[in-house]
């Protein structure tokens, strides 16, 4: 590969924030040539490396945020149960606790634990018992229904919005959803954009239009064109 091309590729990958691709694209190119892979297969390999590395980074970041000093195996944990709760301990330190449940057919389910699965099976969201709208602010279920009314991928978009609670304050995510609903913005990207504006300035860059002003805007009626006259516009059509 020419030095100039190499420099440009690495500069573009850096600008696109794809560090893993920058590390592996040359080795993968040689491997693709050795195995007679076409361009699409080579590109797929590069992107898979980047996605896998990002997912691994996300997991490691979660481990650091949880304060775990090392990766832990199941054997490292202790479970202690009292009459009121169940505690999970690591080296004598409580890392999780749940209320103890008695009786038949009772469960303690945390929605966040199932979001990755729901992302893959998003169509089942409305029927699964892990999603309980009453545990969230009412605006969430309203927003989910509005998303579904507009797109077949509405539930998937909604699950991605729920995942924002992992990285941002829940109250701020709720405010972003409320703002999106108020301005008829129905997408994950739209909610994320509003959330970013809330984080930076405390309020999204939107100027609400009052109902009085909306009523004063005259209704515009568009008359469809007469298609029978279309031939006149064509070269020689009027002859």
DSSP category for residue 70: S
In this structure, what are the phi and psi dihedrals at residue 46, rounded to the nearest 5 degrees? -65, -45
pLDDT at 191: 92
**How far is it, in rounded angstroms, from Cα 151 to Cα 145?**
10
Would the pTM of this model clear 0.85, i.e. be above it? no
DSSP category for residue 35: T
pLDDT digits (tens), the chain, 239 positions = 567 788 888 888 888 888 888 888 888 888 888 888 888 888 888 888 888 888 888 877 776 776 655 555 556 678 777 767 778 787 778 777 777 766 666 666 677 777 888 888 887 787 777 788 888 899 999 999 999 898 888 899 999 999 998 888 989 999 999 999 998 899 999 999 898 888 887 666 555 555 565 456 555 556 666 666 666 666 555 55
**How far is it, in rounded angstroms, from Cα 69 to Cα 117?**
27
Answer for the pair 123, 139: CB distance below 8 angstroms, yes or no: no
């Amino acid at each position: 590969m020419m030095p100039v091309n190499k420099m440009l590729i690495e500069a573009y990958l850096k600008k696109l924030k794809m560090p893993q691709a920058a590390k592996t694209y040359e080795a993968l190119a040689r491997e693709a040539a050795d195995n007679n892979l076409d361009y699409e297969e080579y590109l797929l390999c590069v992107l898979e490396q980047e996605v896998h590395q990002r997912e691994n980074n996300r997991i490691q970041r979660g481990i650091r945020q949880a304060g775990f000093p090392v990766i832990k195996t199941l054997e490292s944990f202790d479970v202690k149960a009292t009459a009121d709760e169940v505690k999970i301990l690591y080296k004598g330190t409580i890392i999780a606790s749940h209320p103890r449940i008695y009786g038949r057919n009772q469960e303690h389910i945390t929605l966040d634990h199932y979001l990755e699965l729901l992302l893959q099976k998003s169509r089942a969201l409305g029927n699964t018992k892990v999603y309980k709208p009453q545990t969230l602010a009412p605006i969430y279920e309203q927003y989910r229904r509005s998303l579904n009314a507009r797109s077949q991928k509405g539930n998937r978009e909604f699950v991605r919005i729920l995942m924002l609670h992992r990285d941002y304050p829940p109250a701020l995510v709720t405010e972003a959803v409320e703002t999106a609903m108020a301005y008829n913005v129905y997408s994950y990207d739209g909610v994320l954009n509003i959330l970013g504006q809330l984080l930076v300035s405390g309020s999204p860059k939107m100027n609400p239009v009052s109902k009085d002003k909306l009523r004063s805007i005259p209704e515009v009626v568009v008359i469809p064109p007469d298609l029978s006259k279309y031939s006149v516009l064509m070269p020689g059509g009027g002859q």
